């Protein structure tokens, strides 16, 4: 029986996260990852064919890790409580995974997605479709529960937590502990507010 690999793909990607958080995508090279992980360069090339493959894997793994928890929370019952919990989850995830939060905040283009292989681009596109599906399901459940339209719900589910953590991620800081509760309370207020005025401009 052969020995298990000393450095797994996740070990190398963890090193890539640390490098990215410290200096952006330019820091994430094959040799830098090997050095950060304490691995031989050959170990990195064994796991990832080239730098674009490494960057693609870093992006896709990070998105999937965030989505796994967020999707689970968002699908809970009742839908209003699930939505509020999903807001807090986003902030807590960024606090608990500050390096990976920086990866998500940077966006896919920061990782040179135009140089990715067809397979890697397809993997990233699957995560996009998964997100769209989760949001569609959430909107379908929340409309009757809140009386709000599509744009209003997306503002709460997506824009509110993003805006809250962005202020900290922009300066490479960790969101404070109280922020999750603040965002959840604000989201609940918006989701439960009585509708005022007409509905012009809403997309339901």
33 and 77 share one domain: no
113 and 142 share one domain: yes
Q: Tokens 């300066």 appear where?
A: 171
Residue 6, pLDDT above cutoff 90: no
pLDDT band at 197 (very low <50, low <70, confident <90, very high): very low
The answer as to whether 153 is a domain residue is: yes
- 52-74: per-residue pLDDT in tens? 999 999 999 999 999 999 999 99
Looking at the whole model, is its pTM more than 0.85? yes
CA distances from 190 to 34, 82, 92, 147 (A): 47, 14, 20, 11
185 and 119 share one domain: yes
Q: How far apart are CA 9 and CA 33, in angstroms?
A: 11
The answer as to whether 131 is a domain residue is: yes
Assess contact for 89 and 69: CB atoms under 8 A: yes
Q: How far apart are CA 100 and CA 165, in angstroms?
A: 13
157 and 181 share one domain: yes
CB atoms within 10 A of CB 133: 11
37 and 79 share one domain: no
- 76-101: per-residue pLDDT in tens? 999 999 999 999 999 999 999 999 99
The answer as to whether 199 is a domain residue is: no
Q: How far apart are CA 74 and CA 35, in angstroms?
A: 39
145 and 78 share one domain: yes
Residue 24, pLDDT above cutoff 80: yes
Residue 2, pLDDT above cutoff 50: no
pLDDT band at 5 (very low <50, low <70, confident <90, very high): low
pLDDT at 96: 98
42 and 74 share one domain: no
CB atoms within 10 A of CB 27: 15
The answer as to whether 201 is a domain residue is: no
User: What contacts 1, CB < 8 A, 6 or more positions away?
Assistant: none
DSSP, collapsed to helix, strand or coil, labels residue 1 as coil
Residue 198, pLDDT above cutoff 90: no
Q: How far apart are CA 154 and CA 160, in angstroms?
A: 9
The answer as to whether 200 is a domain residue is: no
The domain in which residue 125 lies consists of 60-192
Q: How far apart are CA 100 and CA 109, in angstroms?
A: 15
76 and 38 share one domain: no
Split into its structural domains, the chain has a count of 2
95 and 39 share one domain: no
In this prediction, residues 132-161 reach a mean pLDDT of 98
Residue 1, pLDDT above cutoff 50: no
């Amino acid at each position: 029986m052969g020995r298990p690999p000393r450095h797994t793909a996740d070990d190398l990607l963890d090193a890539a996260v640390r490098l990215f958080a410290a200096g952006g995508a330019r820091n994430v090279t094959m040799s830098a990852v090997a050095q950060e992980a304490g691995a031989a360069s050959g170990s990195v090339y064994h796991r990832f064919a080239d730098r674009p493959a490494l960057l693609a894997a870093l992006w896709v793994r990070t998105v999937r890790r965030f989505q796994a928890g967020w999707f689970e929370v968002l699908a809970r019952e009742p839908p209003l409580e699930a939505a509020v919990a999903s807001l807090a989850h986003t902030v807590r995830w960024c606090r608990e995974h500050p390096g990976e939060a920086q990866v998500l905040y940077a966006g896919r283009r920061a990782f040179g997605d135009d140089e990715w292989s067809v397979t890697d681009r397809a993997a990233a596109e699957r995560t996009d479709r998964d997100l769209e599906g989760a949001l569609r399901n959430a909107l379908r459940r929340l409309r009757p529960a809140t009386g709000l339209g599509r744009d209003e719900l997306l503002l709460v589910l997506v824009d509110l937590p993003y805006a809250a953590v962005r202020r900290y991620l922009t300066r490479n800081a960790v969101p404070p502990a109280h922020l999750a509760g603040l965002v959840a309370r604000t989201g609940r207020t918006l989701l439960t507010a009585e509708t005022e005025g007409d509905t012009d401009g809403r997309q339901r």
